[in-house]
Chain A
Amino acid sequence: MSTIIKLENIVKRFYEGQENELEILHGISLEVEEGEFVAIVGPSGSGKSTLMNMIGVLDRPTSGTYILDGINVGDADDSELSEIRNQKIGFVFQTYNLISKTNAQKNIELPMLYSGTDRNTRVKRAKELLELVEMGDRAKHLPEELSGGQKQRVAIARAMANDPAIILADEPTGALDSKTGRLVMDLFHKLNKEKHKTIVLITHSNELASETDRIISIKDGNIVDIKEGKKVKNENTNISNENTGNNENNENNVNNNIIETLNNDNLENETTKQNEEIIKEINVKIDDSTTDESENDEKNEESSNNQNNENGE
């Protein structure tokens, strides 16, 4: 398996050079293998979507390099980025973002329109995808005529239109009840297993995250934890609700899991930009093959912290 997403030391600042400059990502390094199903978890405002936007080349990092499927994205111009989004990436949003007044089939055809696919192929492919997401009978329905879950399935079909290597889903079940969320999640599993799509999923649900291959925890713009998913799926249900949400604890958890230790450049950035708490946090890059059961127990505590934080919002 080859690496399809390779982020190195990605820093993202908003309002750069202005008084209200904000550093949201503090030097993220992350690799995702082809065909991997990765979940990103973390409290709201921690920079998950910002990271996702980098991965989806919707935005450019302030510094750091990003190699997507062997292409150094930093060298690409806007038009090339559009092409990369069109060909390599399928986006799924929390708010579905279907184009209104445009029926399900036409929505699915959109990425193919932008890639210049001919009409017959477009229609054929859109119908196939509608079948894939079990929405075959809703081709001519407008978004406003569909339920949330149905909209999300159309959106997933649309993300698949140009057969992209990567599906990026930013809280795709966030606006759905747990039952329809389940259906949508099953669909992602199906795409991952049957269509071999690399999937990066942002979720607030620990249950859903735990079903993936790897769970990446983000806090305040840093990766604070990476662990394997499926192995902890059952243990997750038993975790105590102990509140260990202070930074010392987090730091310990993270330290226990360190395989490759910190990034010095990153620390320098942090000292100037961030408060004391964040300085203590560490950016980690973990080879997930080395995680074991004992470490997982501690990580679960961290997961539950995240869950508590999210519930509070």
Chain B
Amino acid sequence: MLLWENIVLAINSLLSNKMRALLTMLGIIIGIGSVIAIITVGDSLTLSVSENMQSMGANDVYVMVQRKSEEEEESNIDGVKFGSFNSSEGMTEDDYLTEDMIKEMCNKFKDDIYAVNLQYSAGQSQIEFGKNTANVNVSGVTAGYFITNEISLVSGRMFSGEEFSEGKNAIIVSDKLVNKLFDGDNRKALGSILEVNVNNQVSAYSIIGIYEYQQKYAMGMALGSGDNVTTDLYMPLKAALSLTHSKNAYPYAQIITKVGVNSDELAERIKNFYAPYYRNNRVAEVNAITMSSMVTMLTDMLSTITLAISIVAGIALVVGGIGVMNIMLVSITERTREIGTRKALGAKNSSIRTQFIVEAMIICLIGGIFGVILGVGGGIIASHLLGYPAKPSVSGIFISLLFSMSIGVFFGYYPANKAAKMNPIDALRYE
């Protein structure tokens, strides 16, 4: 019998029992939905991270001072400690990298290092101006920072050499901040004085430049989205350090490598280079990682999560499949007379089998479609909450739908075969 007729038949049969069909599909919907959701979130995360790698430089090496771990922590994957940026607890500026230490490193690896950017996050702050407020991360940077991070000014000027070397109270702010505090009026913003409160210490800074805000990610985590986003407020490194430090020491350095350098290997060598400096230090040590190792770590984590959710989804799908099988058995029993009639009209066993397999397939396919809708919707919402642009995977959707149909075939085969093998007389006599 023609496939199309079977499909129409199956849909009619489902429509005549909508609630039952929906309940039957639930397992499939949940299974497919969760798979699609995790694929959507995972894909957008991976995509964002790899896009971000371009801007942050996949080959850059990040050197940071972090808490010494007594023993290997569980989060230690591939020698990278996730979340270690914030574990500065118990450390003092005496533990940070001094200018001398950085210079020594530059000399030792001068064939590999192209430039070193130093950056210091002084902390978060809420800036008030008139009736408006804006949230910022106060960041002290060196000249190379703007180049390597591809930050471009839309108005005003860059810090001068003098401002850098003397740590003048000049700041460069985002266009988002100008939107919030100055209604987007760049001319009004430039030269304005902002009072910035960092660590309960209020200082006044004048805006000399405005940069174009780009969605930025640190360690693959978005910093926010929309107009209420927390943006970076840049000031000369020295100015930032003076907020909290008495001497010039750096917890963090970004190393731009020369072309063709194996940055993972360099990171390892830098780590080893600094190891003797910190041998007797009880709280701190130096870690050096690359963007690509961070991405590897992230994708590893993600695939672990994906695997876990896939197992749950797989169980849901199997349970859903059994549900489909069950309802098909019920349906076949209810329609025993119909099967007998069809056989009397000349249906071959194979026609009956096909009819019910198609019906099981359609149940699963429709369940799969609902699951995809739910999964894509959930994935988009989750991606937005995490601050990523959502990227539903077309191939993932396609494969999921094919997979749900094969569940239909697999779990529909037994009931369909049972129907096909019914004795026409017994079927017709069935009450």
Contacts and interface: CB of A to CB of B under 8 A. Distances in A.
Interface of A: 53, 56, 58-59, 78-79, 82-83, 85-87, 91, 93, 97, 99-102, 110-111, 113-115, 158, 162
Contacts of B428: 58, 93, 97
Contacts of A85: 343-346
Given A59-B425, A99-B338, A100-B338, A114 B346 contact: yes
Interface string B108-145: 00000000000000000000000000000000000000
A114 B9 CA distance: 14
Contact of B346 (A87, A100, A101, A102): A87
A113 B343 contact: no
A91 B347 CA distance: 13
Given A101-B13, A113-B2, A114-B1, A91 B342 contact: no
Nearest to B345: A111
B348 interface: yes
B5 interface: yes
A91 B2 CA distance: 23
B400 interface: no
B417 interface: no
16 contacts: A58-B424, A58-B428, A78-B348, A78-B349, A79-B349, A82-B343, A83-B346, A85-B343, A87-B346, A97-B428, A99-B341, A100-B338, A101-B13, A110-B345, A114-B346, A114-B347
Contact of A56 (B13, B337, B344, B423): B344
Contacts of A87: 346
A56 B351 CA distance: 19
B425 A91 contact: no
A6 to B, nearest CB: 21
B344 A110 contact: no
B201 interface: no
B16 A82 contact: no
A91 B424 CA distance: 13
B228 interface: no
A113 B344 contact: no
Given A53-B425, A99-B338, A100-B338, A114 B345 contact: yes
Contacts of B5: 113
B12 interface: yes
Contacts of B425: 53, 58-59
Contacts of A56: 344
Given A91-B345, A97-B340, 8 more contacts: A58-B344, A78-B348, A87-B346, A91-B344, A100-B338, A101-B16, A110-B345, A114-B345
Given A113-B5, A114-B1, A97 B341 contact: yes
Contact of A79 (B13, B337, B348, B423): B348
Interface in B1-49: 1-2, 5, 9, 12-13, 16
Contacts of B347: 82, 86, 114
Interface in B288-346: 337-338, 340-346
A86 B345 contact: yes
The residue in A79, A110, A162 that gathers the most chain B C-beta atoms within 10 A of its C-beta is A110
Given A99-B341, A101-B16, A102-B12, A114 B424 contact: no
The 6 A-B pairs of least Cβ separation, nearest first, read: A86-B346, A97-B341, A114-B346, A82-B348, A111-B345, A91-B344
Classify chain B: how many residues form its interface, as a range: 20 to 34
A100 B5 CA distance: 15
Contacts of A93: 341, 428
A96 to B, nearest CB: 9
A58 B425 CA distance: 6
The winner among B1, B340, B344 for most chain A CB atoms within 10 A is B344
A158 B342 CA distance: 11
A79 B349 CA distance: 7
B3 to A, nearest CB: 11
Nearest to B426: A59
Contact of B424 (A59, A79, A83, A99): A59
Contact of B345 (A59, A78, A100, A158): A158
A44 to B, nearest CB: 14
Nearest to B351: A114
A53 B343 CA distance: 12
Interface string B395-430: 000000000000000000000000000011100100
A102 B16 CA distance: 11
B373 to A, nearest CB: 26
Contact of B12 (A83, A101, A111, A113): A101
Interface in B350-390: 350-351
A97 B347 CA distance: 15
Q: Which of B13, B348, B350 has the most CB of A within 10 A?
A: B348
A99 B347 CA distance: 13
Contacts of B340: 97
Contacts of A97: 337-338, 340-341, 344, 428
A274 B420 CA distance: 35
Contacts of A110: 342, 345
A158 B347 CA distance: 14
A101 B13 CA distance: 7
Nearest to A53: B425
B346 to A, nearest CB: 2
A170 to B, nearest CB: 10
A111 B12 CA distance: 19
B340 to A, nearest CB: 8
A158 B346 CA distance: 12
Given A58-B428, A102-B12, A162 B338 contact: no
B424 A111 contact: no
Nearest to B423: A59
Contacts of B1: 113-114
Q: Which of B1, B337, B346, B425 has the most CB of A within 10 A?
A: B346
A115 B341 CA distance: 15
A87 B347 CA distance: 11
A110 B350 CA distance: 15
A86 B345 CA distance: 5
Contacts of A58: 343-344, 424-425, 428
Contacts of A114: 1, 342, 345-348, 351
Contacts of B346: 82-83, 85-87, 111, 114-115, 162
